[in-house]
Structure 1
């Protein structure tokens, strides 16, 4: 149930504002690649278009037509796009937010939904301004842009997040996530967290904590499976649990083959260079029973060593009983998580070097 919580994100804005690029960025996909939302200066979205997250099919990001490109008033626009199915709205602009945006925000608020203003293409704005004045202070410029964004928005004094959809790790996308982290219901927050690209070390740490919180449920399931009076059931059940959790870790931390390919596309780092940073066998393309047996063996050896140090009763590192014990399963799950976190830190370090 935790894994299947639905999350529907609505993204709207005027034509050319960069909303389709943001849709692609949230899905970890580069513009103009297979499955990407079409982008361009001309409005390409005339009806709500659903884009499913490539790793999390329960996460759906909707590219909505800009309210200014339809013949609907703000209230009728929301009815037209089916406002009730969206969990929150992101209103995107590449310059300042206009009267239509303010009217739309007011109607969303009436419907008891959350909305967030995103000023996109901030990297382009900084580059253009610095071309005219190389000594320009970037912090002062960002404040000027933020203040300018709110002009014409007479209904609100909203928090505006300055974002580059092509570089989510820069500027204020992380601030947007921190706001969502506080305001979304717990289950939806965790769904979005695990589906997010790895925009910062803090987000990776949050993902690790969210995955670690799930270990207790896997361990409880393992303990329940151990009491089923069917020969071999507990062993097979534990293997299935470990494989599922290992896959979940790889998916959430962006280590699946397709995720690494997308990261390579976005960052321009060769795929082989990213793969070279993955040291553990848990980072291989194919997770299988053989790999899980090795993980269980490591966990069993660790438990045996700990028991010996405590002068506890000897524990066999071989045999079915130990392989199916919830203690061994718990230790194996922790090992899987830690190894995947080390792998993702390696790819992040490679990306940071490339940026520098």
Structure 2
């Protein structure tokens, strides 16, 4: 029993969304296949909530179309009548970090609410509710009300209520953000299994890399109201194309211009180019390189004032590594160690273990030798506007 109305598996979610809100404009085109989970990441103000609102039907389109399984949910196109189906007619389930249970109903009645609103007979709706309670690990708790359930249990009921309504698509807006690590892990697995079992397309907005790794099939990076990068999870995390995507993945991003021989030409850096692997456009076009800051080898420079320059002082990039000498300008804490910034190249960041934080050789003002292997550098090309 998949849900209340038994209308079966939905088709793909196809979106061409343009929404203008004051000075902000969202322009996004994408498709989500049945059973696929597409994550949407981006900085605050990038348009993530606007995108979900356009799919859910709470925000009208300025232009474009939203289709689910060939059924038009929203449309605003020249020469066609404007369509804006109400939320109740869309079969689009929505789940965020708050369970939002009906406090006057017990757990079973909360779950049965969707089927009952679709005119499913009471006996069958109750059977559906208890089936879902068992599926989410709450068998026997059907009579419990909101204040008798833990936060994780409330979210399990919310998940069951959303899926029991037989949605054709799911919108997941940071549904695990308020849960403890153990509960979040269990519910990620539950949601992923149910989405793929039911075969519905899902959009997942998140700020947590674990959600991407555990749940998503693909990622859309939304910045400034447009999709700046799109790809498989591993591709985006290992080769981010934007500053936000790099920060999300814990990598350092440097921008430049594609050159010959698998390299990126740099401006205003101690080295004239950086080598790596991955796609590059034709020479002369903009591209980016990224690397894990822990991959940078930091060692004592070992040169006193007045001594002859050493290799790397002015920067050197051969086929296997980039070597240069820099002055530590600042130290800052990261989730895994201590990050070093450098006066000569503000974009470049290295990371060392916490155990080296008190090393006088890496104190602010110290000169250090830095080496980054080409094997640890990946290239990417941001999507063009439009």
- Name the TM-score, length of structure 1 as normaliser: 0.32
Bigger helix share:
1
Larger radius of gyration: 2
Bigger strand share:
2
- Name the TM-score, length of structure 2 as normaliser: 0.30
